[in-house]
Amino acid sequence: MPLRHEGCTLNAHVITADLARPEAPDQIRAELQAASISVDILVNNAGFALYGPFIDANPQTEAAMMQVNMATLTQLTRSFLPGMVQRHWGRILNLSSLAGFMPGPLMAVYYATKAYVLSFSEALADELHGTGVTVTALAPPATRSGFQRRAAMEDSKLVQGRIMDARTVAEAGYRGLMGGKAVVVPGLSAKLLAFSVRVSPRWMVTRIVRRMQERVS
């Protein structure tokens, strides 16, 4: 789906900020205000993961992950949502994950952060009904990108073989965002999995995810 149209001029205003720092959202808001830029569409796409047992994880890196995946996302939403409501139009896209529907042994905190994003987005979408502002949670399955290398999980069974490409995910997210859908799960198999884990015993789901997450022997 084309995101550009011939004849349109798109101007980029670049702000450099470390989203793992709690003050980053305020910095971004202040710089945009100084440039007289209002935000009508917010895409909270930043995030990263850690792979391995919780007990072995670096606490500082894990805290930074929670800040980026949850706190910064929430702060940026709070920063720009009032203006959208005042203008009676706005779109917010929060990147969750298929992981948000289930517990994730060997990536316990990452899965929990994505569950937060999913729950937060669905609740906020309901609160904003009738305001002209919509919130969409994009919950893709494993997607080919630099994510796996950053998380040191390239030999996890979960990402072996054919997984979804980033363009397909982005296009599904864009369509859902502009259509005002509350939750977007790209791919039929991912949709079926998201439904099945909601009706399956939690202990069973947890064990299955553990097997999927283990390293290839």
Tokens 């890196």 correspond to: 61
Torsion of CA 142, 143, 145, 151, to 10 degrees: -10
Asked if 110 is an active-site residue, the reply is: yes
Catalytic residue among 110, 111, 116, 174: 110
Tokens 């990147």 correspond to: 95
* Residue 51 and residue 151 in contact, taking contact as beta carbons nearer than 8 Å: yes
Asked whether residue 84 carries a pLDDT value surpassing 70, the answer given is: yes
Whole-number pLDDT of residue 2: 41
Among 49, 45, 28, CA closest to 37: 28
Q: Summarize pLDDT for 23-37 with one digit per residue, the tens.
A: 999 999 999 999 999
CA 155, chain centre distance (Å): 23
Asked whether residue 18 carries a pLDDT value surpassing 80, the answer given is: yes
Asked whether residue 7 carries a pLDDT value surpassing 60, the answer given is: no
The C-alpha atoms of residue 153 and residue 139 are separated, in whole angstroms, by: 19
Query: Among 2-11, 39-48, 109-118, 191-200, where is mean pLDDT lowest?
Result: 2-11
Domains of the chain: 24-213 (3.40.50.720)
How much of the chain exceeds pLDDT 70, in percent? 93
When computed from its CA atoms, the radius of gyration of the chain, rounded to whole angstroms, is 18
Q: What is the DSSP letter of 215?
A: B
- β-bridge partners, 136: 93
Asked whether residue 160 carries a pLDDT value surpassing 60, the answer given is: yes
pTM (2 decimals)? 0.89
The C-alpha atoms of residue 93 and residue 164 are separated, in whole angstroms, by: 19
Mean pLDDT computed over every residue of the chain: 91
Asked whether residue 4 carries a pLDDT value surpassing 60, the answer given is: no
Report residue 129's pLDDT band, with 50, 70 and 90 as the boundaries: very high
Vertex 38, ends 37 and 39: CA angle to 5°?
Answer: 120
* Residue 137 and residue 94 in contact, taking contact as beta carbons nearer than 8 Å: yes
Backbone angles phi, psi at 43, to 5 degrees: -115, 110
The C-alpha atoms of residue 16 and residue 70 are separated, in whole angstroms, by: 19
